[in-house]
Structure 1
């Protein structure tokens, strides 16, 4: 029986200031026959690979050698690769600090963004520290923001990507469910809290996929990609950290989540 314990306030606050929502081998060295054009990887901690380890000299951005973007670059040998996703990023950070990597010759752009804008770091903090009603209320606030404010922010990012590289293929990768409901966790957050958090992931997927579709961009539904590997899933094959150390990696995909979840789903779209 697996445990998913709540965490103390100091650790929660430290974690979610950085958070903003099983290692396995990386794919083999790229085959030149599948070489691609320039690839730019944008986004937040779910894109940078926070939680997947092996961050090199990327500092607080925590760009992992095990992140889905790096795995795709390893296996497809793009002509150039710019990995600029950064832990904690919101849409304004993408516009200010990341889209400059996109040039007119960019052929592929991937991005995971929006969770931090909607405040899902605070959601996880409040759900760990508060009552069921507090958790549900905070999730409802985040969901309302996602439905009303986030679409315009996403449109701003997607428009800038299109302006910089009109011919690029853009793949938007969403966020997984955090929990398997009625799963294999002896203690931790209540089922009410887990259900509320998963509902927020559903709303976020609805909004992000809708705006991506409006621009003709591909959407990867991480809820499907991670199905059966969420926290509390039966067995030991979780693709998301529960409470872990360093604490800012809590509730982030593991290296297995990037390889078996995100990377596999991305290849399913791009080939």
Structure 2
């Protein structure tokens, strides 16, 4: 789920996954599988971007299709909202469609914008207001959008097994990413909003004869900053941020596959390498410097929030140090100031 505009693009009969040799080319009788949805279904976060929609050969739909020998029509697109699925993706459905999967709704409630707002230092942001704005859409507009979309999917694919996924909880109460400033209370509020979104998805999916796939339990212990992350923290490029990585997509495939087919899914043994703490902190410090915390306007915001502008300027200056220990301490102290302003 990113803020960039949605670009329509059809990838019929699994052309993305077939190109990587992931799906058999000749066994369409094994089942026609249409993967709809947003970036969580397109595979954003796996660092394997194939097209403008970011359909990935490591996205859970490609993994499910490969594991079960299904003919995949990969329609999911990064940035998609419910209206985009209706307008751009449902043409792939028919009475011959056997399986449909989808995640959708995060962009409708402003997932990327809310995270961007809440990631800033507390004296520079209105995280509570951003979350409240998303909740207003969740309760006021999204129920009707889900009814319309889920009903259209059932109408166009009357014989399909349909699995609608919720979203995992991103945060564990800790913020280990040096460039972001999520407070524990902000993380709890963001997780709470995700719980409410998932509850709505479950209600509407089951009302329209679809199965709800709940990833929250499986992702427990694998949030951002957990020892084994299934969700990326702040990443470079930024579009990879706060999306399931390859381990996370493998976990999603393990959930969606059995729900769709009734057969067990064997997970792969994937590993991911992480940069050193010094490398992460250097990259984070450079990005914090680009936030221009010492600009007069931002120092005024700090003062109004009860944060010492002098201390902000001092710590901002220390971020330029070549000593990793100095940079680490400056980032830690900036986080403490953020807690003071929250």
State the match for 1:155 in structure 2. Answer: 147
Three-state SS of the structure 1 residue aligned to 2:108 is coil
> Which residue in 2 is equivalent to 1:4?
none
Partner of 2:42: 48
1:167 and 2:153 aligned? no
Q: Does 1:141 align with 2:114?
A: no
Is 1:264 aligned to 2:254, yes or no? Answer: yes
The Cα of 1:184 is off from its aligned counterpart by: 7.2
Residues of 2 paired with 1:240 and 1:158: CA distance?
Answer: 27
Tell me which of 186, 207, 214 is aligned to 1:214. 207
Q: Give per-residue Cα distances to partners, 1:16-54, cap 9 Å, x unaligned.
A: 42399xxxxx9x877x99x73110000000000011122
Equivalent positions of 1:245-260 (< 5 A) are 245-259=236-250
* Superposition deviation, residue 140 in structure 1: 2.1
SS in 2 for 1:106: coil
* TM-score, normalisation: structure 1: 0.83
- Identify the residue that residue 201 of structure 1 maps to in structure 2: 194
Q: What's the CA shift for 1:226?
A: 1.1
Match of 1:110 in 2: 101
By how many angstroms is 1:240 displaced?
A: 0.8
Q: CA deviation at 1:131?
A: 2.5
* TM-score, structure 2 normalization: 0.66
Partners of 2:79 and 2:34 lie apart in 1 by: 18
What are the within-5 Å matches in structure 2 for residues 2-81 of structure 1? Answer: 16-18=2-4, 36-56=30-50, 58=51, 60-78=52-70, 80-81=71-72
Judge conservation of contact 1:19–1:121 (CA < 8 Å) in 2: no
Q: Which runs of 5+ in 1 are unaligned?
A: 1-14, 21-25
Structure 2 unaligned regions, length at least 5: 7-19, 264-342
When the two chains are superposed, the root-mean-square deviation of aligned CA atoms in Å is 2.6
